[in-house]
Structure 1
Amino acid sequence: MNAPTHHGQRTAHLDAAGTGPMPDAVRAVLADCTARDDRFGARALDEHLAAGPGPGIRERLGRLLGVPARDTLPVTGAADAFDAFLARLDPGPRDRIWTTPHEGVAQLTSLHALRDRTRCRLDVVPLRPDGDLDLDWMRAHIGPDVALVSAVHVSAACGTANPVHEIGRILTPHRARYAVDASHSAGQLPLDAARIGCDLLTADGWRFLRGPQDTGFAYTRPGARDTSPTSPTSPGGPGAHARPAPGQPPVPAPAAVAALNTALAHHAAAPPPLQDLLPRLRAVLERTPGVELLPAGRDRAGILAFRHHEVPAARLRRALARHGAVLAKTVAQEHPLHPAAAGGAPAVRASVHRGTTAQDIDHFARALRDALREERHTPTAPAPAPAPAPAAALAAAAGGAGGRGWPSPYAGRTVRRGHLTLHSAT
């Protein structure tokens, strides 16, 4: 989606992974509903929305995810829904929960809180040398003491598309609950929660779906909605750790729900893109001197992250914005377990959405060329060395490196960092 900047120039919006540009119809619904709420009150807005034609948001969510509408719920964001789901779990102190290096800091915070509350063990599934999740490790280590597996469908750090369907097949015979964060796949990849086999699927609505801020949705499998997995290794046997759900995740304001519903309708009605523009974006970066792409697994979806050898990420992002290219800066603390966080240096992240055009990529190429020409001739004071990110601390403790530039932050030990303890995956 292109729009003029304050200089009247063309804008290439390449930050759908952060905040997708709202379509005009979505923005209009949000403005209208907000104005009605402000002028006439919430009850009048509810009546106005109830009288509106067309499917409700849960029907559209059901179609997007391939599940019954009754099993979906609009929420304020994926992290809020994940936190509410974890509040219903009560694993025992001998149980394990698994996460991956792709997990974002908000979900990691909730996992750490669950670990601290229940004294269970938090393990990190390792990566293979090519950057993919090690599914063979999962098959070899799954057992009755694994209570929860949390996976990210598409990594916000570098765009790796993880095999969430295959993970579901590995977990099917076992007790473990399975949660999938689809925040960076919803709106760009097909989603079928039933086929994935997850107990929970969450996503933000303001990224590739291009809805308003503070919106998202959750699908909860009916069998996982009211009870938590009980610990077969704890005293009391089955049922000893079950407890009632403490409540639902927070729901967005009615105006935001209406706008997200419009965004879902816009997404469903829009034709698929004529071509995958990610290879074209990648080619621009690969032929630019001084640019280093952050490594990812074999499959990518919609996102590329990169650094420049001379120009820091913050300066480069601002310079690109002056030339009409909207990208994001990412920092290690956002994905502290990911190998890209090693060393703590920020990166620039580019992401394409269904409205991105080839002209946008060409405009970005010109903006990148001009921004680098300017910034390389701008003297700056030397920046202090960045503090090591948690992933860098893990890598330093483990030593060694995997193939294709992948650090190996897990090497058969428990690493402590302040109050955080992560058990390595061995």
Structure 2
Amino acid sequence: MNAPTNAPTYDTERTAHLDTAGTGRMPDGVRAVLAACTARDDRFGSRALKEHLGAVLDTEVHDRLGDLLGVPAGETVLATGAAAAFDAFVSATELGPGDRIWTTPHEGVDHLTTLCSLRDRTRCRLEVVPLRADGDLDLDWMRDHIDEDVALVSVVHVSSACGTVNPLERVGRILAPHRARYAVDASHSVGQLPVDAARIGAHLVTADGWRFLRGPDAVGFAYAAPGVWGGRPPAPAPAAVAALNAALAHHAAALRLPREDLLPRLRAVVERTPGIELLAPGREQAGMLAFRHGEVPAALIRRGLARRGVVLRKSVAQENPLHPAARDGATAVRASVHHDNGAQDIDRFEQALRDVLREERERREERERSGAAFAAAPAAVGADGPGGPSPYRAKPAGRRHLTLHRAT
């Protein structure tokens, strides 16, 4: 069966991959470990694979995770992903009607769903820490409203909506004198920023392995402070754990190599492109940024870039329903960079973006010319005779998106 003519085509040898925040490209060595372990599992079964991997599963991967998060290896836990780990630990938390939970507008929908379920089960209150006018978390609000009723605080290290970096250590210092358990989602920061649970003051740190760490899908991990959390997340497949272990080793080696921060280059391209609105609230971004065009839908931009060998992600409001960028339900395009990218990827993105926008502008102008010609033509004779309804009635214009509404 032939692929549709309008389907994106990818040149795997020349693709500029600017979606590490969505799915990082596995290094060759990591992919080889995953393939070999999957083949062994398929031939001999999972029990034999576990015996073959031995210390990799029991100690080595936990030692690497401990080094990554600045915690004892015995306090790290493997999971199928950050969301699964967060749900397992937080859902086991016992709260009451007098307790309060704090989250932020950067919270992703998976973690937010867990918090809403906890609120509904325990009848506690779920409050959203506001943002300042510049887009940063309002730490003054936190200082003014913290008390012993605040039982749980969930903060994202780097916002998946637009790359805003939150000041975890400053939040930790505000919470330290109080009873609140401090949970950090590091899914979009591990692999590109240092994450030290002790310095942050966090009681729980969750993360995915397939983003900036460039490990396989369906594997994540957590640090859980002893004696604070109950619950246990579902375990990932042994082959995925072995590949994550290889990815952690690759990451540790890459840290010793010089690398350029390509985000300023990427931001400059977006800022100088006519018609583009940059979505970059807050004083600091890391690894990614989001943007939208005033006239060209995000889906068309993403598909047009993909046809030109540039891979980005289209984001939708439902992924970060509390974020200001989601209030109008509009979609956006998110680009992310990592040390495996080069300046040539940014140059290719800029040229491809210009081509896509020019192509869409030409199509829009052609439609407008066709519409004007149609309006100037004699009225069509429909079944109702001259002057009756036209059989060529235009469909209603505009994009439609499913929008998540939240009760107030």
Please say whether Structure 1 and Structure 2 have the same fold, judged by a TM-score greater than 0.5: yes
Contact residue 342 and residue 388 of structure 1 kept, 8 A: no
1:192–1:288: structure 2 CA closer, same or farther, 3 Å change rule? same
Deviation of 1:6 after TM superposition, in Å, equals 4.4
Give 2:311's aligned amino acid: V
Per the TM alignment, residue 362 of structure 1 is displaced from its structure 2 partner at its CA by 0.9
2:319 is matched with which residue? 334
Q: 2:346 aligned with 1:361, yes or no?
A: yes
Corresponding residue of 1:240: none
Deviation of 1:295 after TM superposition, in Å, equals 3.2
Whether 2:152 is the aligned partner of 1:117: answer: no
Is 1:216 paired with 2:200? Answer: no
Tell me the equivalent position of 1:248: 232
Matched, 1:384 2:368: no
Q: CA deviation at 1:90?
A: 1.1
Q: Partner letter of residue 226 of structure 2? A: P
| 3-state SS of 2:362 partner | coil
Provide the rounded CA distance (Å) in 1 between the counterparts of 2:342 and 2:74: 36
Q: 1:320 aligned to 305, 315, 320, which one? A: 305
Q: Contact conserved, 1:153 with 1:162, CA < 8 A, in 2? A: yes
Cα 1:139–1:41 change in 2 (3 A) is same
Q: Which runs of 5+ in 1 are unaligned?
A: 226-244, 391-416, 422-426
**3-state secondary structure, aligned to 1:45:** helix
Residues 94-149 of structure 1: per-residue CA shift (max 9 Å, x gap): 11100000000000000000000000000000000000000000001000100100
Q: State the secondary structure of the residue aligned to 2:93.
A: coil
Select which of 264, 268, 273 maps to 2:248.
264
| Structure 2 CA distance for partners of 1:365 and 1:73, relative to 1, 3 Å | same
Distance in 1 between residues matched to 2:104 and 2:322, nearest whole Å:
8
Deviation digits for residues 332-361 of structure 1 (CA, Å, limit 9, x no counterpart): 010000001021110000001121111111
Supply the distance in 1 between the matched residues of 2:399 and 2:296 (Cα, whole angstroms).
14
Separation (CA, whole Å) in 1 of partners of 2:404 and 2:131: 18
CA RMSD, aligned part only? 1.8
Judged with a 3 Å threshold, the aligned counterparts in structure 2 of structure 1 residues 117 and 54 are, in CA distance, closer, same or farther, namely closer
SS in 1 for 2:34: helix
Q: Which structure has the larger Rg over C-alpha atoms?
A: 2
Provide the secondary structure at the position in 1 that maps to 2:192: coil
Q: Whole-Å Cα distance in 1 between the matches of residues 335 and 76 of structure 2?
A: 30
SS in 2 for 1:336: coil
Counterpart-to-counterpart distance in 1, 2:236 and 2:55: 19
Deviation, structure 1 residue 20: 0.8
SS of 1:378 mapped into structure 2: helix
Shift of 1:378: 2.8
* Counterpart for residue 208 of structure 2: 204
Secondary structure at 1:383 match in 2: coil
- Answer yes or no: is 1:145 the counterpart of 2:149: yes
Q: Distance in 1 between matches of 2:65 and 2:12?
A: 37
| Change in 2 beyond 3 A, CA 1:53/1:99 | closer
| Alpha carbons of structure 1 residues 72 and 9: separation in structure 2 relative to 1, 3 Å | closer
Give secondary structure in 2 for the equivalent of 1:223.
Answer: coil
User: Equivalent residues in 2 for 1:126-141 (5 A)?
Assistant: 126-141=130-145
The whole-number CA distance in structure 2 between the counterparts of 1:77 and 1:13 is 22
| Rounded Cα–Cα distance in structure 2 between residues aligned with 1:331 and 1:51 | 41
Task: Pick one of 159, 164, 171 that aligns with 1:160.
Answer: 164
| In the alignment, structure 1 residue 299 sits paired with structure 2 residue 284 | yes
1:171 to 151, 172, 175: 175
* Match status 1:62 vs 2:66: yes
Secondary structure at 1:340 match in 2: helix
How many positions carry a matched residue from both structures? 369
Residue in 2 that maps onto 1:344? 329
Alpha carbons of 1:338 and 1:286: their partners in 2 closer, same or farther (altered >3 Å)?
Answer: same
Query: SS of the residue aligned with 2:282?
Result: coil
The amino acid across from 2:241 in the alignment is V
Distance 2:318 2:335 in 1: 18
Over 3 Å counting, the alpha-carbon distance change for 1:170 and 1:323 in structure 2 is same
Helix, strand or coil: the match of 1:217? strand
Equivalent-residue separation in structure 1 for 2:257 and 2:341 (angstroms): 11
- Cα deviation for residue 273 of structure 1 reads 4.7
The aligned residue for residue 14 of structure 1 is: 18
SS in 1 for 2:363: coil
CA contact (8 A) 2:162 2:288 kept: yes
Kindly indicate whether residue 185 of structure 2 is the aligned counterpart of residue 181 of structure 1: yes
How far the C-alpha of 1:9 sits from its partner, in A, is: 6.1
Q: Residues 269-304 of structure 1: CA distance to partner in whole angstroms, max 9, x if unpaired?
A: 014452211000000111111111013100111111
Equivalent residues of 1:295, 1:340 under 8 A apart: no
| CA displacement, residues 311-345 of structure 1 (integer Å, 9 cap, x when unaligned) | 10001101100101100000001000000102111
